[in-house]
Amino acid sequence: MSLPLDPRTFMARAIELSRLHMEAGEGGPFGAVVVKDGVIVGEGWNRVTSTCDPTAHAEVTAIRQACASLASFSLQGCEIYTSCEPCPMCLAAIYWARLGRIYYANDQADAAAISFDDAWLYREVALPLPDRSLPLTQLMREEALAVFRAWDAKADKIRY
């Protein structure tokens, strides 16, 4: 019988990725790994500045790699280890990917102390739509609803 791996092993890898790729100038100091059954199936690090992609956070890139590795859009049964508490975007991606647990090292306050403050975004998404700083304007709802109705009636759709 094999003993389960210490979660610190996976966290150490996430932290190592954050340091290696931060020092290489690829982005901010963030790293993440996705683990299934004690095996790393996806690794990611912050690539925002090196790829000019504001969504290329460590957790998102790790999720993308894990999904490709497993050939699945669902990471149910997996865990994510991240060097910092996920921002709202990454947290949403983790929920959408159906990961079962989040382990994190640094927290929101630690990130804010080095100018990665996402508290404003947590506050913003909790506001009613008209009160948000980014204006939202609804257009062509009926036309878009027609596509939703077609999806709802589609017999061969893949639910996710």
Nearest to 79 by CA among 32, 45, 30, 12: 32
Q: Of 26, 43, 59, 142, which residue is the catalytic one? A: 59
For residue 59, indicate whether it is catalytic. yes
Nearest-5° Cα angle at 155, 151 to 156: 90
| Residue 103 Cα distances to 4, 24, 132, 143, 147, angstroms | 16, 25, 31, 42, 39
List, by residue number, the catalytic residues: 59
